[in-house]
Amino acid sequence: MTGVPSCALRRALPVLLLVGALAACAAPPGEREWDPWEGFNRKIFWFNERVDDYVLEPTARGWVAITSQGFREGVQNFADNLRFPIQLVNNLLQWRLGDAWRCTERFVVNTTIGLLGIYDPASVWGLPPAPADFGQTLAVWGLEEGPYLVIPFLGPSDPRDATGLLADFLIESEVLPGSYFFLGTYVVATVNWRGQNLDNIREAREAAIDYYTAVRSAWLDHRRRAIGVMLPPDENKPDTPSDQPEDPYDVDSAISP
């Protein structure tokens, strides 16, 4: 496979892995949202918001105007189905063999009976998705999350996840038939997804007192949960507040300085 972007990326991979590993040092204790690069992050965040205002959201509105809900679901399913190589590789790397098998079954069912993945009969037949990505794999291997990081165009991340994203990108570009196909699907899927969330995102922006912080906090929670499911219990795991030395739901200790 494929073309220039992927070659260049492949060459860059070792460097990026190294950067990721270096950056991913442990957060200072007690810091739930470690954001030492906040000034820089806020600038990128602002930039991403403008990209959304001027390009992504208007495009998504146009897309919604010319497509039906059913069509958009088909696009979403198709894109999800193409994540199979990423899920298979990462489930295997995390030694989740049952999940690796299940995502294989899903891929076979949805690609054939589901007409190249446009439909998702597997979910209906008791084969729910078995998501896995390389950011998660790195976490399972013991790499720390590192500081919060906002990436131009892509949004919230951290060095570990950014590294994972790149690795997943390489896996995909290795497997899919060509870089144009790859990029094309990516772009369409992103616009499609944005179109499916027009109201949600508007509401989130309006509800926030400080949108940057709201996104950071939500992203960290969500991501840690996706990863935490795979990890042995530890004090940073947000899913089990009762395991934490300090109970965040104790009103008296919460309000004492």
Is 97 or 203 the residue whose CB approaches another protein more closely?
Answer: 203
57, 99, 133, 145: residue in contact with another protein (rule CB under 8 A): 133
Task: Write down the least CB distance from residue 26 to another protein, Å.
Answer: 20
Rounded Cα–Cα distance for residues 69 and 76 (Å): 11
Task: Write down the least CB distance from residue 199 to another protein, Å.
Answer: 6
Verify binding: residue 53, another protein, rule CB under 8 A. no
Task: Write down the least CB distance from residue 104 to another protein, Å.
Answer: 18
92, 118, 193, 231: residue in contact with another protein (rule CB under 8 A): 193
20, 41, 83, 146: residue in contact with another protein (rule CB under 8 A): 83
Q: Which residues contact 226 (CB under 8 A, 6 or more apart)?
A: 131, 136
Verify binding: residue 68, another protein, rule CB under 8 A. no
Residues that bind another protein (CB under 8 A): 32-33, 69-70, 73, 76, 79-80, 82-83, 133, 151, 153-157, 161, 165, 168-169, 172, 176, 182, 185-186, 189-190, 193, 196-197, 199-204, 206-210, 212-219, 221-226, 238-239, 241-242, 247-251, 254-257
